A and B are shown apart, each in its own frame.
Chain A
């Protein structure tokens, strides 16, 4: 647990709302990146990160300070991300059902609304949200298996399996797509 985090949390709990901005400032870019990798869309990631910070603020009094604030925050983000993906999937299923009998124009509009953003890396679609989260925490946040397990609420062995599986699948997909072993870095697009 970072001492700085602890200090800011203490201030927030004493009623200093402005102190929370320091925590937002510290983690916003990392949280957006994590959610971006999980959701595959920068706009969704930004909106979700906003919600996560608000949710974390409300729950801050219940935060166990022997834990890492970052892990706790990312755990909220992970749960929120998985929830959003589930809703998106059921929305997609709903429209697929509608398209069989419904108004084609309405279906077309709706399909456009849920279309993935162009910067979504297609190859990352081949791995599960859990595997994407594990990769993001390992490679971006430099977390060990224990820390990832703490964030995602699963066992270390599960984390390791997700990691090994993700690497296997990505290697296969990249090979099939003609990327070299180290891969070609796709362009990223900006969140505004």
Chain B
């Protein structure tokens, strides 16, 4: 039987967090380590090599598959990958720091958002009217700001300036 702590951690609904906390616990719990090292108490559900039919022979198919191939050349320096170690304290500290940072960013964002938010008109591409004529004379164009950001109102006026 595993310890009560492990049973409790197994009830955590979020699988990622559950696995991390269980891993952290098991790394430091002699009882859970002992139970996990025990080899008994498993019903014979697994397929064993003895249950694989004796007549099974993969050699012809493998031979056919590797025919004409050669193993890739020996790499000059094969560095064995180290087994991942668990650093529970470092991990917990990182998670806590990330949590604080996340909350801070959210708070900052909430405070600064009304000021930094661009106006809907500014965010939209502006419609421009470059020139207009009344009769055959160039006219003045006045852009009137509209409440509706999807609408642009232009006032075209007769140009009285005779210069």
Residue ranges of A at the interface with B (Cβ–Cβ < 8 Å): 12-13, 15, 17, 20-21, 24-25, 28-30, 32-33, 36-37, 42, 46, 49-51, 53-54, 57-64, 66-67, 121, 123-124, 135-136, 138-140, 142, 144-146, 149-150, 153-161, 163-165, 167-168, 170, 174, 179, 181-186, 188, 190-192
Given the interface pairs A145-B37, A160-B36, the reply to whether A62 lies near B75 with Cβ below 8 Å is yes
The answer to whether B43 touches A183 (Cβ under 8 A) is yes
The answer to whether A66 touches B80 (Cβ under 8 A) is yes
Q: Could you tell me the dominant secondary structure of chain B's interface residues? A: loop
Q: Which of B46, B52, B84 contacts A32 (CB 8 A)?
A: B52
Q: How many angstroms between the C-alpha atoms of A18 and B130 in the bound complex?
A: 82
Task: List 14 A–B pairs whose Cβ atoms lie within 8 Å, in order of A's numbering.
Answer: A20-B66, A24-B59, A28-B58, A29-B52, A46-B58, A54-B65, A54-B69, A57-B66, A140-B48, A142-B39, A161-B19, A164-B2, A168-B10, A179-B43
Residue ranges of B at the interface with A (Cβ–Cβ < 8 Å): 2, 6, 10, 19, 22-24, 26-27, 32-33, 35-37, 39, 41-53, 56-59, 61-63, 65-67, 69-75, 78-81, 83-86
CB-based A-B contact count at 8 angstroms = 169
The answer to whether A28 touches B57 (Cβ under 8 A) is yes
The answer to whether B59 touches A21 (Cβ under 8 A) is yes
